[in-house]
Amino acid sequence: MTTAQAAENEILLTSTDRAASDWDELLRLQTEMFLPVELEFFFSNSSWARAGSVLDVGCGNGSYLSTLQPFFPQKTYVGIDVSDELVRLAEARASGDGMTFEQADFFSYRSEEPFDAILMRLIVQHLSGFDSLLEQASLLLRPGGALYVIEPDIENSRTFPRTPVFDRVVRDFEKHRELSDKNRKRLGELAGVVARNPDWRLSRELRLSVPTVGPFAETSHLRMMQLWIDLMERSGCLSLFDAARDELACWSENPASFCQVGIRILQLKHVDAQHQIH
Ligand X SMILES: C[S@@+](CC[C@H](N)C(=O)[O-])C[C@H]1O[C@@H](n2cnc3c(N)ncnc32)[C@H](O)[C@@H]1O
Binding of ligand X at residue 152 (CB under 6 A)? no
Q: Which of 60, 145, 152, 214 binds ligand X (CB under 6 A)?
A: 60
Cα–Cα distance for residue pair 106/82, rounded to 1 Å: 8
Q: Which of 20, 68, 118, 122 binds ligand X (CB under 6 A)?
A: 122
Minimum distance between the CB of residue 273 and ligand X, rounded to whole angstroms? 25
Minimum distance between the CB of residue 31 and ligand X, rounded to whole angstroms? 6
Q: Which of 54, 123, 237, 265 binds ligand X (CB under 6 A)?
A: 123
- For residues 79 and 56, the answer to whether their CB atoms sit within 8 Å is yes
User: Which residue, 44 or 132, has its beta carbon nearer to ligand X?
Assistant: 132
Q: Which of 81, 85, 151, 247 binds ligand X (CB under 6 A)?
A: 81
Q: Which of 54, 55, 68, 82 binds ligand X (CB under 6 A)?
A: 82
Binding of ligand X at residue 59 (CB under 6 A)? yes
Minimum distance between the CB of residue 90 and ligand X, rounded to whole angstroms? 9
User: Which residue, 65 or 165, has its beta carbon nearer to ligand X?
Assistant: 65
- For residues 140 and 118, the answer to whether their CB atoms sit within 8 Å is yes
Phi, psi of 216, deg, nearest 5: -100, -5
Nearby residues of 150 by Cβ (< 8 Å), 6 or more positions away: 38, 119, 120, 121, 122, 263, 264, 265
Binding of ligand X at residue 225 (CB under 6 A)? no
Mark 4-32 as b/e (b = at least 16 C-beta within 10 Å): eebeebebbbbeeeebbebbbbbbbbbbe
Among candidates 61, 204, 73, which has minimal Cα distance to 121?
61
